[in-house]
């Protein structure tokens, strides 16, 4: 899954296209919105009228991601490798824990 690279290698490569403070801020907010939307979307299958919340969170999260990359001037890394979708979550967790990223 990690293609012989450590998580640190993946995070370092991810960081190269996430240097602008606006992009980093957009990802800091947008990634958890997207992640939160997924279990809520699953719950919406069984809970009436819940679908609007996860849909809104998902769309807003992605708008923030692409707005950040527009300012950064670089495409999202997951356009080249889908695994960067998971690396983004790992980057966010490291940021929340106060690790350098």
Locate the domains of the chain by residue range: 7-96
Encoded tokens for 59: 């769309």
Query: Nearest to residue 27, comparing CAs of 40, 39, 11, 43?
Result: 11
Query: Nearest to residue 27, comparing CAs of 51, 19, 48, 83?
Result: 19
Average pLDDT taken over every residue of the chain: 90
- Give the model confidence (pLDDT) of 4-52 as tens digits: 778 788 888 888 788 899 999 999 999 999 999 999 999 999 999 999 9
What is the structure's pLDDT at 20?
A: 94
Is pLDDT of 93 > 70?
yes
Query: Nearest to residue 26, comparing CAs of 70, 56, 74?
Result: 70
């Amino acid at each position: 899954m990690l293609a012989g690279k450590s998580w640190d290698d993946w995070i370092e490569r991810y960081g190269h296209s996430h240097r602008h403070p606006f992009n980093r801020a957009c990802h800091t907010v947008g990634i958890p919105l997207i992640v939160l939307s997924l279990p809520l979307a699953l719950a919406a299958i069984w809970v009436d009228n819940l679908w609007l919340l996860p849909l809104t969170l998902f769309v807003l999260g992605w708008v923030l991601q692409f707005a950040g990359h527009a300012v950064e001037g670089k495409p999202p890394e997951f356009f080249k490798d889908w695994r960067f979708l998971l690396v983004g979550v790992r980057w966010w967790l490291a940021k929340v824990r106060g690790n350098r990223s």
